[in-house]
Structure formats: structure tokens, C-alpha cells
């Protein structure tokens, strides 16, 4: 009978320890200004611009000109809140995708600032664009 008397307090202690460890495992709450590694930055921005171009009705492809800001939040994966400047290139979407497309410099020139939320599970090579908002500059 004495063994069962210790079960409930022992289970409560175990639950408390697990909750404390889980809270520290989850890291920080909310978005944080943390530097993004070059590899994560490149893959995240490549995914973003590919998603933007796939969803766009524009005849020409856009490319990232500048990373203005980035924030990161740990969840079940990693969420990146990025603000980028993108610009219209001279490459048409139906042409072969050329890595070195020059930017438009005439009346077709268009520059946008986009704020996007990209969810990723980097160790599974999984990316998803959760939200995107762009404005002409």
C-alpha cells in the first residue's frame, strides 16, 4: 500500500519536470530578430521568389534585389517573416529560367516591397508560403 501512496506525487513531479523541459525546448515565443544563415536565407528567398513568380500573372519574372529584414520564430518548424525588395526582369516566364536575368530599365521597370511569412521544416526540405503582401515602390 505504501508504494501506491507515492504514485500520485511522483506522477505530479514527473509532469512538472516534463512541462519545464518542454517549455525550454520550445525556445522563445514570438518573432525574433535573428540573423539567418546564408544557406537558410538563400533557400528561403529562392522558395519565396519562385512562389511569387508562379502565382503572378506578369509576363516577366521577378527576382529578389535586396533582403530588407528578417525575423524568425520557432514552432513545429521555422517561420521566417521576411521583407524583400523585388524587381521585374527582362526574362519572360515562358522562356528558359535564366539565373542571370537583367532588370527592366525602361517603361516596364517595376519594383515591389514584399512582406512574406514562409514556414519551413529545413531538415525535411519542406517550404510553404503562408502569407504574402507586396506594394509598388
Distance (Å) of CA 53 to CA 63, 83, 119, 120, 134: 9, 16, 18, 19, 13
> Rg for the chain (alpha carbons), in Å?
23
**Residues 87, 103 contacting (CB under 8 angstroms):** yes
Q: Are β-strands 126-136 and 111-121 bridged in parallel, bridged antiparallel, or unpaired?
A: antiparallel
Give the CATH architecture of domain 27-136: Roll (3.10)
Q: Are 64 and 86 in contact (CB under 8 A)?
A: yes
pLDDT in tens, 111-125: 999 999 999 998 899
**Greater pLDDT, 7 or 116:** 116
pLDDT tens-digit readout, 30-85: 888 877 788 888 999 999 999 999 999 999 999 999 999 999 999 899 999 999 99
**So what's the pLDDT on residue 103?**
95
- What are the boundaries of each domain within the chain? 27-136
Name the DSSP letter for residue 94: T
Task: Check residues 11 and 52 and name the one with the higher pLDDT.
Answer: 52
Q: Which residue has the cell 521555422?
A: 78
Contact 36, 72 (CB under 8 A): yes
Task: Identify each DSSP E strand in the chain by its residue range.
Answer: 60-74, 78-92, 111-121, 126-136
Q: What is the pTM of this model?
A: 0.76
Q: CB-based contacts of 110: which residues, under 8 Å, 6+ apart?
A: 87, 88, 104, 136
Amino acid at each position: 500500500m505504501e508504494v501506491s501512496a507515492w504514485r500520485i506525487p511522483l506522477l505530479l513531479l514527473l509532469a512538472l519536470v516534463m512541462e519545464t523541459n518542454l517549455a525550454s525546448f520550445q525556445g522563445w515565443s514570438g518573432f525574433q530578430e535573428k540573423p539567418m544563415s546564408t544557406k537558410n536565407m538563400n533557400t528561403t528567398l529562392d522558395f519565396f521568389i519562385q512562389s511569387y513568380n508562379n502565382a503572378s500573372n506578369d509576363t516577366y519574372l521577378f527576382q529578389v534585389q535586396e533582403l530588407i529584414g528578417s525575423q524568425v520564430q520557432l514552432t513545429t518548424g521555422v517561420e521566417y517573416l521576411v521583407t524583400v525588395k523585388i524587381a521585374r526582369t527582362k526574362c519572360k516566364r515562358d522562356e528558359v529560367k535564366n539565373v542571370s536575368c537583367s532588370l527592366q530599365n525602361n517603361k516596364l521597370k517595376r519594383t515591389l516591397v514584399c512582406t512574406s511569412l514562409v514556414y519551413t521544416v529545413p531538415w525535411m526540405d519542406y517550404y510553404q508560403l503562408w502569407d504574402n503582401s507586396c506594394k509598388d515602390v
